Structure 1
Amino acid sequence: MATSDGVGSRLLRYLESPKNLVGCAGGAAGLVLHLTDVTKGWWLVVVAGLYGAGALLAPGPKPPPPLPPGPPGVSAPPVAEPLGVAPPAPKPEPVPAPEPAPAPDPELVALAAYLDTVPLPPSAGVDGLLAALRAAGPGPVAERIVRHRLPVAVAGYLRARTWQPWAGPDDPDPAVQLGREVDRLAGELA
Structure 2
Amino acid sequence: MATSDRPGNAVLRYAESRKNLIGSVCGLAGVGVTLTGAAGALWPLVVGGLYAAGALIAPPDRPATPEFAEEGDRLDGLRADFARLRAYLTEAELPPAARERLTALDTLVEALLAPGWVTDPEHLHVIARTVRQDIPEAVDTFVRTRWWARFAAGAEQPEHHLERQLAALHEEAKRIASDLHEAEEIRQRIHTEYVEGRGE
Q: TM-score, normalised by structure 2?
A: 0.38
Quick check: which has more Rg, 1 or 2?
1
Ranked by relative contact order (alpha carbons within 8 Å, sequence separation 6 or more), the top structure is: 2
Q: TM-score, normalised by structure 1?
A: 0.40
